[in-house]
């Protein structure tokens, strides 16, 4: 059993606090390890600091292959929709960000058929315009993702450690429960014996006092 990925945890938490998380934005960092031949989501999220202010944003993605010094423009997303700007990525990038809105806070893209040549540094830019009552504010935010491409998924130490901890705590809890059960069973059976003995004593006393009463009665009758 794999430990819960952070996204699942977040959506579980959101499920618990639906009314608070509704429309909320969280700046989750992108994964940084892609598997060759598979798809990969390059995450890039920039939340508006004041969600009530009207905003709109256009997005640019740049890429610098490992070992090279210059970034190339690979993708843009704006009013006119998505455009792939570089042949190397032709037909290989899908939009995975905010949909049905110009107010983009999630600018993630999806890379199809990842190759080893896709490893390197990705950079996304938000060109955001915030519209206040009587002025507009222009903000440029950028984020960086260092992508490595591997032949097979490797697991982070953190996930292995958390899985081991999970088993340790499950086994520990089971043992504790077992010990508790044995302890309680012993206590209950001891108490049961005690109760039986007490009941027997009480009965004996009752009989004894009854016979004493009888005796008294007999004595009174005499
Ligand atoms: C991202 O895009 C890919 C390819 O179009 C699609 O399969 C995947 O479901 C998308 N994921 C999200 C979260 O939109
Ligand atoms: C991606 O890989 C699939 C399966 O290997 C192939 O059918 C598809 O044509 C590839 N797409 C691109 C854009 O290379
Ligand atoms: C990756 O780059 C190398 C060197 O630039 C090139 O020879 C090779 O064909 C490239 N592979 C792919 C899958 O584009």
Q: What is the pLDDT of residues 84-106, one digit of tens each?
A: 999 999 999 999 999 988 899 99
CB atoms within 10 A of CB 201: 10
The rounded distance, in Å, linking the Cα atoms of 75 and 60 is 6
In the predicted model, what is the mean pLDDT of residues 165-192? 94
pLDDT at site 159:
85
- DSSP for residue 106: B
Q: How far apart are CA 78 and CA 221, in angstroms?
A: 114
Ligand 2 centroid–CA 33 distance in Å is: 20
Atom of ligand 1 nearest to the CA of 112: 4
Ligand 1 center to 128 CA (angstroms): 24
Ligand showing the shortest atom-to-Cα distance for residue 11 = 1
State the residue for tokens 């222009």: 138
pLDDT at 163 over 80: yes
pLDDT band at 11 (very low <50, low <70, confident <90, very high): low
Least confidently predicted of 16-25, 104-113, 115-124: 16-25
- Beta strands 109-111 and 40-42, pairing class: antiparallel
Specify the residue with its C-alpha closest to ligand 1, atom 5.
94
Average pLDDT over all residues of the chain: 85
Counting every residue written for the chain, the total comes to 222
User: Is residue 110 very low, low, confident or very high in pLDDT (cuts 50, 70, 90)?
Assistant: very high
The pLDDT assigned to 147 comes to 96
CB 140 within 8 A of CB 127: yes
Ligand 2 is surrounded, with C-beta below 6 A, by 91-92, 112-113
Candidate from 82-86, 201-205, 218-222 with smallest mean pLDDT: 218-222
Candidate of 90, 111, 113, 118 to mutate for ligand 2, largest count of ligand atoms within 8 Å of Cβ: 113
């Amino acid at each position: 059993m794999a430990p819960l990925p952070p996204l699942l945890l977040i959506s579980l938490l959101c499920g618990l606090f639906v009314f608070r998380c509704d429309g909320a934005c969280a700046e989750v960092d992108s994964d940084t390890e892609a598997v060759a031949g598979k798809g990969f989501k390059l995450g890039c999220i920039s939340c508006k600091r004041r969600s009530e202010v009207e905003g709109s944003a256009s997005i640019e993605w740049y890429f610098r292959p490992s070992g090279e010094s210059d970034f190339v423009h690979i993708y843009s997303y704006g009013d006119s929709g998505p455009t792939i700007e570089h042949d190397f990525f032709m037909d290989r990038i899908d939009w995975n960000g905010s949909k049905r809105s110009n107010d983009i806070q999630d600018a993630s893209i999806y890379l199809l058929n990842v190759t080893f040549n896709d490893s390197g540094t990705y950079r996304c830019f938000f060109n955001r315009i915030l519209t206040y009552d009587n002025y507009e504010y222009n903000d440029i935010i950028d984020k960086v993702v260092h992508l490595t491409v591997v032949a097979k998924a490797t697991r982070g130490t953190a996930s292995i450690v958390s899985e081991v901890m999970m088993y340790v705590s499950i086994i520990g809890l089971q043992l504790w429960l077992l010990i508790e059960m044995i302890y309680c069973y012993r206590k209950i059976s001891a108490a049961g014996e005690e109760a039986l003995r007490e009941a027997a004593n009480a009965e004996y006393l009752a009989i004894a006092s009854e016979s004493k009463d009888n005796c008294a009665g007999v004595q009174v009758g005499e």
